[in-house]
Amino acid sequence: MTSTLDTFPITRKWPARHPDRLQLYSLTTPNGVKASIALEETGLPYEAHRVAFDTQDQLSPEFLSLNPNNKIPAILDPHGPGGRPLALFESGAILVYLADKTGQLLPQDPAARYHALQWLMWQMGGIGPMFGQVGFFHKYAGKDYEDKRPLRRYVDESVRLLQVLDGHLKGRAWMLGEDYSIADIAIFPWVRNLVGWYEAGELVGFERFAQVRRVLDAFVARPAVQRGLKVPA
């Protein structure tokens, strides 16, 4: 019997062993782990597929059939709205979808919901792009540029964003106060990556941001986060 997912070209390259489960196409980058952490937090059954950058899997026709923007993560849910399969890309959109699907990680109160979405958009428009540029100019090819003005520009903006984040977290356990949400799942993998993989903690003076450090520690201590950070293996 042919499963519904077999009609999607991406399953030719990454066959679904469990076609009844949500399919995740990802890698353990800050954006990639947003999806896997949310899936672990909600308890939704899923199957993870590794999209390897070193072999340019993200540029394959099969992956592009699901995400023409050739970025991870992307998902294919056999049980989407109306019972029909749903293909979706963009980590922020995936977080909102998973929260709405499960009724978790996003407040039901309209005002609180919009506050969560506000901080989600803030991460997508600020934290992600700016921290990513710091990583490029500090650790990757950009570090060899003689002109250090681009690095300085992105470091300065990253410091400003950390100041905003630190001020907001004073007196709050999470971005929305006592309620853990997709806003936290969006933001803190990037903070972790900045001071960890990018090795830019000293560069941005991370020790100054006591509230950010406190919440980052609480975030990585969550069992679902620890599992999600390793997906796909």
Bridge partners of 74, per DSSP, are: 25, 89
pLDDT at position 192, please?
98
Between strands 74-77 and 86-89, the pairing is antiparallel
- Name the nearest CA neighbour of 63 among 3, 9, 6, 4: 9
pTM of the model: 0.96
Q: What is the pLDDT of residue 1?
A: 36
Per-residue burial over 20-41, b if 16 or more Cβ lie within 10 Å, else e, is ebbbbbbbbbbbbbbbbbbbbb
pLDDT block averages, 10 residues each, the chain of length 233: 80 97 98 98 98 97 98 98 97 98 98 98 98 98 96 98 98 98 98 98 98 98 98 94
The answer to whether residues 152 and 183 touch, using CB atoms and an 8 Å cutoff, is no
> Count of CB atoms within 10 A of residue 189's CB?
30
Are 80 and 144 a contacting pair, CB within 8 Å? no
DSSP string, 1-26: ---GGGGSTHHHHS--SSTTSEEEEE
pLDDT value at residue 3: 66
Q: What is the 3-state secondary structure (H, E, C) of 113-146?
A: HHHHHHHHHHHHHHHHHHHHHHHHHHCCHHHHCC
- The structural domains of the chain, ordered by start, are 4-102 (3.40.30.10), 110-223 (1.20.1050.10)
